[in-house]
Structure 1
Amino acid sequence: MRSLLILNGPNLNLLGTRQPDVYGHTTLADIQRLCREKAEAVGVGIAFEQHNSEGALIDAIHGAKGTHAGIILNAGAYTHTSIALMDALSSVELPAIELHLSNIHAREAFRHRSYIARVAVGVICGFGAAGYPLAIEAMLSHLDRDP
């Protein structure tokens, strides 16, 4: 069975209480449950992780090579600052989808730049927690495409 890594970055452990006007009241545990339900429905395995430190995210990306078919990454604020995450994604040569709960293009100007998008097969943003099951579907569609 194919497997996907769903990787969440800094401060996402605070979902449900952090800036509910921006991120809503859905918790990361709620999102994990949505992802597990979607994965079961479409017959794919998932690993679901969250790390606040950049190094731990990089280690998780490196660990995905040879284990997972693709990576869905909500890198949080590291999206806009981390060349190291971009390089890690490039290095493992796995398809990645950049994911955000909020529409980063409707927010502060500094959030409009993404280092992750440069190496991702696509970006999903602005759909809240519903973006996660969308990202699973999009990744499977990408993986099933003829080369």
Structure 2
Amino acid sequence: MDSDQKPRDADELEGTTLVGGSVERSRASLRVFGQDLDPEEVTKVLRAEPSLSYRRGDLRGKRRLVAAPRGMWMLSSSLPGQTDIEAQIASLLDRVTEDTQVWQTLVFKYQVDVYCGLHVESYNRGFALSAQLLQRLASRGLKLEFDVYCESD
């Protein structure tokens, strides 16, 4: 290519697909599950109101009501879906207690995780989490769960 020529835009190259880049949309949630989970107790110890909670046996469902097989307490990120996943997870941790004793008790008693739903429009998208964020998660005993949804044609 001559130095006077500009590189062609990928749209100009028929049959060309661009790959790589960042995740287009994501959503992070802090989740607590348990057979005998009391949502009010979790709210009290974490010092945060959940986005959604229910007890085992509560009727759940949009089309057909079914008794929940276990209780759940969930706090979802309030940041826009285009916000990177690290910022969403950090914002969740900022909204709840830092008390490691509380986290030890919760993790021992219930299934606790940070769920990350990642939506990509093409393959080979990626993200990174900082050592500082991973340390915050580890100090609380939190497991990370990732679901990746590819929305390409």
Please state which structure has a larger fraction of its residues in strand.
2
State if a TM-score over 0.5 links the two structures: no
Q: Could you state the TM-score of these two structures normalised by the residue count of structure 2? A: 0.31
Please state which structure has a larger fraction of its residues in helix.
1
